[in-house]
């Protein structure tokens, strides 16, 4: 089967691809553990939201530095 026959059989559909990309992004970025983590730290470890924010900032800063070294 030639490349032209495959292209003719499947036309490019941008609307379908955009919908699929939206769903993929939603599923890939769905992170409910982040909200549970904040509740755990505030309720059970008695941290303030400021302390949780500082910890998160340190975590993301270290992750950023590690990613730059790769």
Q: What total of structural domains would you count in the chain? A: 1
The answer for residues whose C-beta is within 8 angstroms of residue 25's C-beta and 6 or more apart is none
Alpha helices in 12-48 (DSSP H): 14-29, 33-39
55 vs 30: CA distance, rounded Å: 21
- What pTM did the predictor assign? 0.55
pLDDT truncated to tens, each residue of the chain (70 aa)? 566 655 567 777 889 999 999 999 988 888 888 889 899 999 999 999 999 999 999 999 999 999 988 7
Full residue range of the structural domain in which residue 44 is found: 3-69
């Amino acid at each position: 089967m030639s490349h032209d026959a495959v292209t003719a059989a499947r036309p490019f559909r941008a609307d379908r691809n955009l919908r699929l990309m939206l769903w993929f992004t939603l599923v890939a970025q769905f992170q409910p553990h982040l909200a549970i983590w904040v509740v755990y730290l505030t309720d059970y470890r008695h941290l303030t939201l400021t302390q949780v924010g500082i910890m998160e900032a340190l975590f993301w800063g270290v992750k950023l530095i590690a990613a730059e070294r790769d």
